Copies of this chain bind each other. A is one copy, B any other.
Amino acid sequence: MTVTLADVAARAQVSPATVSRVLNGNYPVAAATRERVLKAVDELDYVLNGPASALAAATSDLVGILVNDIADPFFGIMAGAVQSEIGGPGGRAGGERLAVVCNTGGAPERELTYLTLLQRQRAAAVVLTGGAIEDAAHQAAMAAKLRRLAEAGTRVVLCGRPPAPETGAVALTFDNRGGGRELTDHLIGLGHRRLGYIAGPQERTTTRHRLEGHRAALAAHGIEEDARWTVHGRYDRQSGYEATLELLRRDPSLTAVVAANDSVALGACAALRDSGRRIPDDVSVAGFDDLPFSIDAVPALTTVRLPLAEAGARAGRIAMGREEAPIGGIATVRGELMVRGSCGQPRGV
């Protein structure tokens, strides 16, 4: 029913081996023969059987990309950049590779399951994006899995994620701590002394690092933090909205709200507006990531730009072996403070 290599071989009057070599182009075939084969391929509408090739050659052209939430541009941008570099159609590289984008939803077990699935497919490479989950058992399981993947020849690259020692994985880590520090430094420089902080989910490295940066800035300026000033939530708009209301209830005198990311910041802005406060006159708001929409907020968000596309592209190239891994297998990617309208001096300064 389906046409196979042998059918093509028969029609072109050559052996299956020759057809295979024409299609893979890694062995000399006389021009005339090649023509005949290509013609037969075309006439029969032949399409190689991927699984069979993969089995015989013990390689695959699948590349896995793990993301927390594909609907979030933060991940979409990185995934797109990775994909553009791994050499899928339209990419710069040669062989055609298929990107497998896996949506973990931030769930530990799904992260692991997807990795197994990718291992099962004998993926050529895997890129993991986003922060890691801070759970000892899970981290051990992940490390074991990554090690096994590496052993099986799958290149593993972490993009925007802390290093995973002894796994053979290359890490491109975002300097969340530094960015958080710089952002809060800026606010303090403007005169703020009472700053609310809307953190992400508790058990994530990204959350912790950004918060640590924030606190480091406070400490450096001798500002004693009030425990009521920190609220944890999810990395989305709604969470930002609710958290801001909570923050305001706890301490209505806050002059600034620092959000875990831009989506949260947008929610914060909405909450502030809905409660009759003006930004930045009454309360300043800061985000993180600098996603495309952040500049369209009114006022535009002051935030820390993370070079998501660049980092993703680099991760893709490293995964494909087209760029050397950084020394030590670890590189830190810094963010850049984007000063815009959503942060100003507090009243009376």
A interface residues (Cβ-Cβ under 8 A, vs B): 2, 45, 47-55, 60, 62, 69-73, 75-77, 79-80, 83-84, 88-90, 96, 98-105, 107, 109-110, 113-114, 116-122, 148, 152, 237, 263, 266-267, 269-270, 273, 292-293, 295-298
Contacts and interface: CB of A to CB of B under 8 A. Distances in A.
Contact of A292 (B2, B237, B295): B237
Contacts of A99: 100-103
A165 to B, nearest CB: 21
A149 to B, nearest CB: 10
Contact of A103 (B2, B84, B293): B84
A70 B114 CA distance: 19
Nearest to A100: B100
B98 A102 contact: yes
27 contacts: A49-B122, A51-B53, A51-B54, A51-B122, A52-B55, A62-B100, A70-B70, A70-B79, A70-B83, A79-B101, A88-B102, A88-B103, A88-B110, A88-B117, A89-B110, A96-B113, A98-B117, A99-B101, A100-B101, A101-B101, A237-B296, A266-B296, A267-B296, A270-B296, A273-B298, A293-B296, A296-B297
Number of copies: 2
A14 to B, nearest CB: 21
A238 B2 CA distance: 47
A163 to B, nearest CB: 24
Contacts of A45: 148
Nearest to A118: B98
Nearest to A83: B103
Given A107-B90, A293-B293, A55 B47 contact: no
B2 A152 contact: yes
